[in-house]
Amino acid sequence: MMIQTDRGIDDAQPTIFPVEYTVYAIITVLIIVSLVVYLTKTKKKTALS
């Protein structure tokens, strides 16, 4: 059964990308970058010492 209401179509196929997902993506990228930088700094310190 196909629901022809605008709300049903929007719920089934959202065309607008939610802002929350972009915020979560940015936060995860920042966390990953900070972890990589921290790990590289610790590796350099241990390698030098």
Tally of CA atoms within 13 A in the half-sphere of 40 that contains its CB: 6
Residue that the structure tokens 């920042």 belong to: 30
pLDDT at 12: 54
pLDDT at 17: 66
Distances (CA, A) of 41 to 19, 28, 30, 46, 47: 33, 20, 16, 9, 10
Distance CA 19, CA 30 (A): 17
**pLDDT digit string, tens, across residues 4-46:** 555 555 555 555 667 888 899 999 999 999 999 999 998 877 7
Q: Does this model's pTM top 0.85?
A: no
Q: How confident is the model at residue 49 (pLDDT cuts 50, 70, 90)?
A: low
One-letter amino acid identity for 23? V
- What is the rounded radius of gyration, in angstroms, for the C-alpha atoms of the chain? 22
